[in-house]
Amino acid sequence: QKQEWAKLKDEPTTSSDGTHVELVANIGTPEDVEGVLNNGGEGVGLYRTEFLYMGKNSLPTEDEQFDAYKSVLEQMGEKPVVVRTLDIGGDKELPYLELPDEMNPFLGYRAIRLCLERDDIFRTQLRALLRASTYGNLKIMFPMIATLDEFRQAKKILLEEKDKLIAEGVEVSDSIEIGIMVEIPSTAVIARQFAKEVDFFSIGTNDLIQYTLAADRMNERVSYLYQPYHPAILNLVNNVIEAAHAEGKWAGMCGEMAGDSIAIPILLGLGLDEFSMSATSILPARTQIKGLSKEEMQSFKDQLLSMNTADEVEAFVREKTNQ
Ligand code: PEP
Ligand code: MG
């Protein structure tokens, strides 16, 4: 089977009836890029930048960050690279920020919430990204967006830093797409409003599932409620994809669900444009998608969205796709 996958390394990902989707990878460091290319990744769909900030005693400098972003972009060449701005908090701590303990860290002061308040940290990262933007095909996305105001504020800060750099004579790409992660139900529900202002969506199902079912993604006791195939999740995902397409934007997914063999046929049918997963999942996913008819999967859409339980969804997909 490995040999069969290897043959698909340099091929585009196309369903049996000819729809192309992007299969891209999640990475955490510039060293991960080699694995992406070796596994036939068509881009990076999620660069988690937290690792630059973790495992040390102080914030990374602008130059340190610039070097990392430039390295990833250069290695990827013309292929798209979606960089997520700092998503600290929740399960990812930065001791040197000395943040007070919280009752509910996953519902607390984290990610874009922290960046908008500590905009010194945020601006440094954005400057590093903007300076690196001329070395490849950069897209920037903001994590944990709950309201349109947050997106507008984050984008405003990004554009301010861009203007400053240009005034300083620094070259900055003028084709950087600016998108958001959809990992909070409020954003999935009003995706239509967001779609008018963002360039793309990337659905973060790892968090979207925990927030939708109110089941901590780290808590074994409630893991039975952590249900990717729950019809509520499928309906939110569908809402996001439809909203994106209604405004001529694209929708991807960078949570674990994007590489799952039961979810892939569903997501193909819902019209997901980009699937971002661990590098080693790319060739198996490409093999699977080549054997799926998008039109057939699409014909199951209304039925799937109106099912009652995750088990029902799973059994249906297994039967239809012989899994
Ligand atoms: C997600 O929430 O789905 C996601 C991709 O981000 P993380 O797993 O880093 O929270
Ligand atoms: Mg997340």
Residue with tokens 């990475």: 27
Is the separation of the CB atoms in 135 and 112 below 8 Å? no
How much is the pLDDT for 4?
A: 77
How many residues are present in the chain?
Answer: 323
How much is the pLDDT for 1?
A: 74
Q: Is 115 a catalytic residue?
A: no
Is the separation of the CB atoms in 292 and 268 below 8 Å? yes
How much is the pLDDT for 89?
A: 86
How much is the pLDDT for 290?
A: 97
Phi/psi at 139 (nearest 5 deg)? -125, 140
pLDDT digits (tens, 9 = 90+) for 213-230: 999 999 999 999 999 999
Q: Pick the more confident residue, 99 or 130.
A: 130
Q: Is 206 in the pocket of ligand 1 (CB under 6 A)?
A: yes
Question: Tell me, what amino acid is at 133?
Answer: S
Q: Assign residue 73 a region: left if phi > 0, alpha if psi is -120 to 50, beta otherwise? A: alpha
Catalytic residue among 82, 234, 236, 254: 254
Judged against a pLDDT cut of 90, whether residue 146 lies above it is answered with yes
Judged against a pLDDT cut of 80, whether residue 268 lies above it is answered with yes
- According to DSSP, residue 60 is labeled P
Which ligand 1 atom sits closest to the C-alpha of 26?
5
Q: Is 207 in the pocket of ligand 1 (CB under 6 A)?
A: yes
Q: What is the number of other CB atoms lying within 10 angstroms of the CB of residue 197?
A: 14
Q: What is the number of other CB atoms lying within 10 angstroms of the CB of residue 173?
A: 15
Is the separation of the CB atoms in 49 and 70 below 8 Å? no
Query: What is the C-alpha separation between 167 and 75, in angstroms, rounded?
Result: 28
Query: 269 C-alpha vs ligand 2 centroid, how far in Å?
Result: 24
Helices H / strands E in the chain, number of each:
16, 9
pLDDT digits (tens, 9 = 90+) for 95-113: 999 888 899 999 999 999 9
Residue 299 pLDDT class (50, 70, 90 cuts): very high
| 3-state SS class at 253 | strand
| 3-state SS class at 138 | strand
How much is the pLDDT for 27?
A: 98
How much is the pLDDT for 294?
A: 98
Average pLDDT over the chain, rounded to an integer: 96
Question: Tell me, what amino acid is at 142?
Answer: F
Q: Is 48 in the pocket of ligand 1 (CB under 6 A)?
A: yes
Judged against a pLDDT cut of 90, whether residue 41 lies above it is answered with yes
Quick one: what percent of the chain has pLDDT higher than 90?
93
Query: What is the C-alpha separation between 94 and 166, in angstroms, rounded?
Result: 32
From 29, 44, 85, 183, give the residue whose CB has the most ligand 1 atoms within 8 Å, as the site to mutate: 183
How much is the pLDDT for 91?
A: 74
pLDDT digits (tens, 9 = 90+) for 50-100: 999 998 899 999 999 999 999 999 999 999 999 999 999 877 889 999 888
Judged against a pLDDT cut of 90, whether residue 134 lies above it is answered with yes
Report the pLDDT averaged over residues 282-295.
97
How much is the pLDDT for 3?
A: 79
Report the pLDDT averaged over residues 126-131.
98
Is the separation of the CB atoms in 282 and 9 below 8 Å? no
Q: Which residues contact 245 (CB under 8 A, 6 or more apart)?
A: 251, 271
Residue 271 pLDDT class (50, 70, 90 cuts): very high
Query: What is the C-alpha separation between 199 and 201, in angstroms, rounded?
Result: 7
Q: Pick the more confident residue, 196 or 1.
A: 196
| 3-state SS class at 47 | strand
Query: 70 C-alpha vs ligand 1 centroid, how far in Å?
Result: 23
How much is the pLDDT for 184?
A: 98
Query: 61 C-alpha vs ligand 1 centroid, how far in Å?
Result: 24
From 207, 210, 260, give the residue whose CB has the most ligand 1 atoms within 8 Å, as the site to mutate: 207
Is the separation of the CB atoms in 184 and 144 below 8 Å? yes
